[in-house]
Amino acid sequence: MRVLVTGGAGFIGSNYVRRALSGDYPGLAEAQIVVLDKLTYAGNLANLDPVAESDRFTFTEGDILDAALVDQLVKTCDQVVHFAAESHVDRSITGGADFVMTNVVGTHTLLDAARRHGVDRFVHVSTDEVYGSIETGSWAEDHILEPNSPYSASKAGSDLVALAYHRTHGVPVSVTRCSNNYGPYQYPEKVIPLFVTNLLDGKHVPLYGDGLNVRDWLHVDDHCAAIELVRSGGQTGEIYNIGGGRELTNKEITGYLLDATGRNWDYVDFVEDRLAHDRRYSVDDSKIRAELGYAPQRSFEAGLAETVQWYRDNRAWWEPLKDR
């Protein structure tokens, strides 16, 4: 079996590839893993160094908008796990065109190739941000989509295209929607790696608004394990929420990171809130727990401690990224 992993040099995609090639996923024990990544600012070949010598690994640098390249790769693969996306909300606010092109048109390019070549499985990796913001309770998979940023709107669009290709053309699509990820190899623009690396260097960190926006935190290992459950046993045409089960305000997260790095609140600058900043995210992931036996394995405290230590130990990975 050959599996095409798009965005496989990014934070979450590279975790999935490393796990797949290290024997952590029995269903992929003998699979050939074909990575397609554009190597934008957030894609990094160093993320794949631990498995680069595997005889089951192939890397192609390229864009999911390149229809000829996508067709060539999909034609040789049995399944697709689609991570590739523009994913930073702040960047989408300053310029949304790349988000629409990559996330919507790029996903369509992949789906159309999958239709033509009859792939066995297509897992489309999305986000809980497509639901918008929720004051109380949690979103089930059938909740309406109310995205508030250009990023989340583009992901909602890609979800709808993916599900339409299942209904119209029978492409065996499953969609996953995850909560906020954290862990090693995350590009230092997202809150945890940005704050950790700043604090390690004795620099201040910017906290939006009153710091009371709530997010559910999911370790990247647990997220990728859930994606693998969906790839290997999920129902086509279905959506699966993936949560970490630990909701915290941004202020609480900041407190954890200050403690972990030996800093105090003097290092925190409260800054003007982000435009259309969603107040709270919370997914109901009872469906994937009941159907596929998913349960997060990492406690937040242990996972965060390991993550902070990874950034302490891997300055050679993140310092060049922050120097750009």
Active site residues: 128-129, 151
127, amino acid identity? T
314, amino acid identity? N
Q: Are 191 and 249 in contact (CB under 8 A)?
A: no
β 214-219/180-182 pair status: parallel
Say whether 60 sits in a helix, a strand or coil: strand
Go through 300-315 and write b for each residue having 16 or more CB atoms within 10 A of its CB, e for each that does not: beebbeebbebbeeee
User: Quick one: CA dihedral 131, 124, 61, 57, positive or negative?
Assistant: positive
Go through 36-56 and write b for each residue having 16 or more CB atoms within 10 A of its CB, e for each that does not: bbbebebbbeebbeebeebeb
Beta bridge partners of 124: 82, 175
Among 34, 43, 25, smallest CA distance to 81 is for 34
Which residue has 């915290």 as its token pair?
Answer: 248
Q: Are 252 and 188 in contact (CB under 8 A)?
A: no
**E-strand stretches of the chain:** 2-6, 32-37, 57-61, 79-82, 121-127, 173-178, 180-182, 205-208, 214-219, 239-242, 247-249, 268-271
**CA gap 201, 207 in Å, rounded:** 17
